[in-house]
Amino acid sequence: MIYMDNSATSPVKEEVFNAMVPYLKEGNPSTFYKLGRDAKKAVEEVRANVAQLINADTREIIFTSGGTESDNMAIKGVALKFEDKGKHIITTEIEHPAVLRTCEFLETRGFEVTYLPVQENGIISIDDLKNAIRDDTILISVMHANNEIGTIQPIEEIGKIAKENGILFHCDAVQSVGKIPVDVKAANIDLLSISSHKIYGPKGVGAIFIRRGVKLELLIHGGGQEGGLRSGTENVPGIVGFGKAAELAYEQLDENIAKLSEMRDAFIEKITDRIPEAYLNGDRVNRLPNNANFRFAAIEGEGLILRLDAKGINGATGSACSSKSLKASYVLSALGLEDAEIHGSLRLSLGTENSMGDVDVVVDAIEEVVAGLRRMSPLWDNENNKSLELDESKFTDSDH
């Protein structure tokens, strides 16, 4: 088995699992006897570990149930708090659904949202951002790194513009924290979302960074845990596991960046050298060290995934990105790609458990599977080993 779908979720590390076990049975951090005090101490240590990972102060970290809740808390929290000041929000077309659906919900409540397009490389234009700002803009929400194409947005520039205009800046950094340096101070970030299960921690836990002094309307009311900002007894074992994962990510950041980028670069070189009409989606340079997203002419990504799966290799397609929909990926579509190109796309997200040997095995497998699919593809000219001229109507009329 070779697992290369780490951007969907990353397997819990052994050290993380072992750290969690003692906390599964007892300890409410809000009680005063020793068990409770131990749980509280453990939770506070994690707060420090998470803060250090993004250069925040410990008190600026609030635990949540994950990236989705953090995104909702930031965006709805600001919208409801500042609606008297303005009802305009700026985000991008390629955000995670946790941001997009939240913004769409707010549109049904009278907010206006500008969805910035991205350039061919998946990066927004700073001029577009400047032009979108209005007197009633209260929030800019731009992700740090994209989950499908790994593209990294210029968050320091975005933060500077937000600050100059007195607008709050929320950043969904679920894919970047723990993988590349993230510094909330340097980037003038006011609110930032983090998730544990994308950095080898358990699922169902995450955090939101709220810069000191930033006011939010609350989503969850109750007993006043987490400094009164997010009620509910803390998920102590989950938080402890998240903390271990954050600590490891911090200690091994440089080492992991070096190792993963080397594998990613080998991947990109081998695939694009050895397979005709294979291209990289997203920016070649400004991308996560663990992301490679390819498109192959004349084949369907689903066929590719199934055949790789049969060989014990896990990847993800850009088309059926959620099992519920067969719609072409909106992220790849925002890059200006045609539906046919999107359907022939494959995301491989590397993890620290992968080795260069895995890369070689996967490249060989992809080469073989792509060749096999093309032999049967009506869109591939086998004699000349190149794609046939596309008949556009074939795709636009299909119910894909």
Ligand X SMILES: *Cc1c(COP(=O)(O)O)cnc(C)c1O
Q: Give catalytic residue positions.
A: 321
Instruction: Decide: 122 and 151 in contact? Cβ < 8 Å.
Output: yes
Spatial neighbors of 361 by CB under 8 A, at least 6 apart, are 2, 313
Spatial neighbors of 328 by CB under 8 A, at least 6 apart, are 318, 319, 339, 342, 343, 400
Residue 98 or residue 308: which is nearer to ligand X going by CB? 98
Residue 289 or residue 303: which is nearer to ligand X going by CB? 289
Q: Are strands 206-210 and 278-280 parallel, antiparallel or unpaired?
A: unpaired
Q: Which of 183, 147, 180 is nearest to 67 (CA)?
A: 147
Residue 197 or residue 374: which is nearer to ligand X going by CB? 197
**Closest approach of ligand X to the CB of residue 64, in Å:** 9
R_g of the chain, CA atoms, integer Å: 22
Residue nearest to ligand X (CB): 67
Q: Which residues bind ligand X (CB under 6 A)?
A: 66-68, 71, 96, 98, 143, 147, 172, 174-175, 195, 197-198, 206
Nearest-angstrom CA–CA distance, 102 and 94:
14
Tokens of 56: 């925040």
**Closest approach of ligand X to the CB of residue 133, in Å:** 24
**Closest approach of ligand X to the CB of residue 246, in Å:** 14
Residue 49 or residue 291: which is nearer to ligand X going by CB? 291
**Closest approach of ligand X to the CB of residue 97, in Å:** 8
Residue 67 or residue 351: which is nearer to ligand X going by CB? 67
Q: Which of 98, 136, 100 is nearest to 116 (CA)?
A: 100
**Closest approach of ligand X to the CB of residue 382, in Å:** 39
Nearest-angstrom CA–CA distance, 123 and 188:
19
Q: Under DSSP, is residue 191 helix (H, G, I), strand (E, B) or coil?
A: strand
